[in-house]
């Protein structure tokens, strides 16, 4: 699982370096972040994929896991 987490993070971190998405300086020029001002199709597809694979899918997995835990405790009567 640890290797998967590192490879998953490395994949999403290198995609802007390979041309899918783009990094840019923050307004204070202290560090780099994703450039949210872009509006082209390449960048929008990157943001959608990033939000689905890094937020929605893990959020769905956590929600269903906690719901099943809640149902298990509800059946056993131990809240």
| Three-state secondary structure readout of 36-63 | CCCCCHHHHHHHHHHHHHHHHHHHHHHH
Asked whether residue 28 carries a pLDDT value surpassing 90, the answer given is no
Contact 70, 63 (CB under 8 A): no
Measured in whole angstroms, the distance separating CA 38 from the mean position of its chain's CA atoms is 19
Query: How much is the pTM?
Result: 0.72
Run of H or E residues at 23: strand 23-25
pLDDT of residue 6: 96
Closest CA to 35 of 56, 53, 17, 57: 17
């Amino acid at each position: 699982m640890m290797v998967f987490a590192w490879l998953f993070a490395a994949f999403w971190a290198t995609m802007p370096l390979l041309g899918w998405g783009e990094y840019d300086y923050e307004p204070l020029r202290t560090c780099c972040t994703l450039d949210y001002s872009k509006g082209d199709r390449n960048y929008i597809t990157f943001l959608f994929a990033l939000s689905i694979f890094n937020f929605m899918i893990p959020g769905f997995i956590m929600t269903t896991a906690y719901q099943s835990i809640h149902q298990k405790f509800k059946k056993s009567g131990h809240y």
